[in-house]
Amino acid sequence: MADNQRRAPAEPVEIEDIDPQADVRGRVVGSVIDLGDDSLTVDDGTGSVEVFADDGQLDDVEEQDTVRILGRVLPAPEGFELQAEALHVLSVGRETYDSVKKIVNTTS
């Protein structure tokens, strides 16, 4: 019989609200404020987090891009990090994204 385990959902969350002791996965939207070879730092206005990515995930990412990251929350000595499972560069800026999100949330 196949194992029917499911992943925990990647719920939308603000960085300041992530609890590395309780949260397993999360979905964060923010601006890239630093970009390295295998990681980036994202700021969503409430805080910032270092996000580690697999080869190729950062190829199209530049500083100041608005990105959406679905990832695993990893406890670290000074808080937490994210391991990106999916990373998308958004074609709209953070302000536009927030405006659309607010409209969608009030009509559903």
43-52 mean pLDDT: 97
pLDDT at res. 91: 85
Evaluate whether 73 touches 89 at the Cβ level (below 8 Å): no
- Tell me if 58 sits within 8 A of 35, measured CB to CB: yes
Can you read off the two tokens belonging to residue 78?
A: 């000074």
Flag whether pLDDT at 84 surpasses 60. Answer: yes
pLDDT value, residue 40: 98
Domains of the chain (ranges plus CATH)? 15-107 (2.40.50.200)
Q: Can you read off the two tokens belonging to residue 71?
A: 């990832």
Give the integer Cα–Cα distance in Å for 79 and 31.
20
Supply φ then ψ for residue 101, to 5 degrees.
-60, -40
Q: Could you identify the residue written with the tokens 């609200």?
A: 17
Q: Is the pTM of this model over 0.85?
A: no
